[in-house]
Amino acid sequence: MQYGLTSKQLRLYKFIKSYIAKKTISPSFDEMKKAVGLKSKSGVKQIVDQLENRKWITTLKARARSIRIAK
């Protein structure tokens, strides 16, 4: 565990950060699912929630593409 995150959490965090830097909006759940090799959006949601609970990202509830980098 690097930075206190699991490998999937870290991979998703780095993908989100890179995506936002390039496109100025956060990626969709489908894009995140493909980037980290998950089979379902619920798996992505679980990791996004974990990152938010650890204060690595923030999200606006009920808004698509609302992830912001906190760290």
Using the predicted structure, report yes or no on whether residue 41 has a pLDDT greater than 70: yes
Amino acid at 54: R
Q: By C-alpha distance, which of 65, 63, 58 is closest to 27?
A: 65
> 2 versus 27: which is more confidently predicted?
27
Q: Model confidence at 30, in pLDDT bands (50, 70, 90)? A: very high
Which pTM value belongs to this model? Answer: 0.90
List of residues 6+ apart from 18 with CB closer than 8 A? none
DSSP-based three-state secondary structure for 40: coil
Write out pLDDT tens, residues 45-57: 999 999 999 999 9
Contact 25, 69 (CB under 8 A): no
What gap in Å lies between CA 5 and CA 22, rounded to an integer? 23
What gap in Å lies between CA 70 and CA 55, rounded to an integer? 6
